[in-house]
Amino acid sequence: MIDPVSFSLTDDIGVITIDSPPVNAINQPIRAGLKRMFETAIDHADVSAILLTCAGRTFAAGADLREFDEPIADPGYHEVFGIMENSPKPVIVAMHGTALGAGLEAALACHYRCAADSARVGLPEVSLGIIPGAGGSQRLPRLVGAKAALELILNITPVDAVQALKIGILDHVIDGDFIEGAIAYARTILAKGAGPRKTSEMRINTEGYTNEFLAEARKTAAKKARGQDAPELVIEAISHAIKLPFEEGIIEERRIGDEALVSEEARALRHIFFAEREIGNIPGLSKNTAKHLVESVAILGSGTMGGGIAMNFANIGVPVTLVDISEESLEKGLGAVQKNYENTVKRGRLSEDKMATRMALISGTTNYQDIEDKDLVIEAVFENMDLKKKIFAEIDSICKPDAILATNTSTLDVNEIARATRRPEKVVGLHFFSPANVMKLVEIVRGDRTSLEVLATSVDLAKRIRKTGVVAGVCFGFIGNRMMIEGFHREADQMLLEGATPEQIDRVMYEFGFPMGPWAMHDMAGVDIMHSILQDSGLKDANPAPYFNVLYQVAEMGRYGQKTGSGFYIYEEGNRKPIPDPSVIGIIENEAEKLGIKREPMTDAEIEERCLFGLINEGAKILEEGIAYRPGDIDVVWSFGYGFPRFRGGPMYIADQIGSKALLAKIRGLQERHGDYWKPASLLEELAKNGKTFVEWSSAS
Ligand code: NAI
Whole-angstrom Cα distance, residue 379 to residue 366?
14
Q: Is 451 helix (H, G, I), strand (E, B) or coil?
A: coil
pLDDT digits (tens, 9 = 90+) for 304-354: 999 999 999 999 999 999 999 999 999 999 999 999 999 999 999 999 999
Per-residue pLDDT at 223 exceeds 90: no
Let me know if 486 is a catalytic residue.
no
User: CA-to-CA distance for 39 and 5, rounded, in angstroms?
Assistant: 13
What is the band of 608 on the pLDDT scale with cuts at 50, 70, 90?
A: very high
Domains of the chain: 5-262 (3.90.226.10), 297-472 (3.40.50.720), 480-603 (1.10.1040.50)
Alpha-carbon distance of 287 to 224, in angstroms, equals 36
pLDDT confidence tier of residue 535, bands split at 50, 70 and 90? very high
| Residue 105 annotated among the catalytic residues of the structure | yes
Average pLDDT, the chain: 97
Q: Cα–Cα distances in Å, from 696 out to 17, 69, 265?
A: 39, 17, 21
The confidence band for 70, taking pLDDT boundaries of 50, 70 and 90, is confident
Is the CB of residue 534 less than 8 Å from the CB of residue 527? no
**Rounded mean pLDDT of 386-392?**
98
Ligand 1 touching residue 410 (CB < 6 A): yes
Tens digit of each residue's pLDDT (9 = 90 or more) over 395-420: 999 999 999 999 999 999 999 999 99
Query: Distance between CA 622 and CA 39 in Å, rounded?
Result: 55
Q: Model-level pTM? A: 0.95
Span 489-511, pLDDT tens digits: 999 999 999 999 999 999 999 99
Q: Is 185 helix (H, G, I), strand (E, B) or coil?
A: helix
Q: What is the mean pLDDT of residues 514-538?
A: 97
CA distance 295 to 293: 6
Closest CA to 646 of 132, 62, 152, 226: 226
Evaluate: CB of 159 within 6 angstroms of ligand 1: no
Residue-level pLDDT at 1: 65
DSSP string, 104-124: HHHHHTSSEEEEETT-EEE--
When pLDDT is averaged across residues 87-100 and rounded to a whole number, the result is: 98
- Is pLDDT above 90 for 699? yes
* Residue minimizing CA distance to atom 4 of ligand 1: 303
In this structure, the residue with its CA closest to atom 29 of ligand 1 is: 380
Q: What is the mean pLDDT of residues 59-85?
A: 95
Q: Point out the catalytic residue in the list 85, 105, 265, 498.
A: 105
CA 491 – CA 500 distance, rounded (Å): 11
Max Cα distance, the chain (Å)? 91
Evaluate: CB of 367 within 6 angstroms of ligand 1: no
State whether the beta carbon of 408 lies less than 6 angstroms from ligand 1.
Answer: yes
- d(CA 374, CA 318) in angstroms, rounded, equals 11
Residue 229 phi, psi dihedral angles, 5° rounding: -90, -25
What value does the mean pLDDT take over residues 434-451? 97
Residue type, 375: D
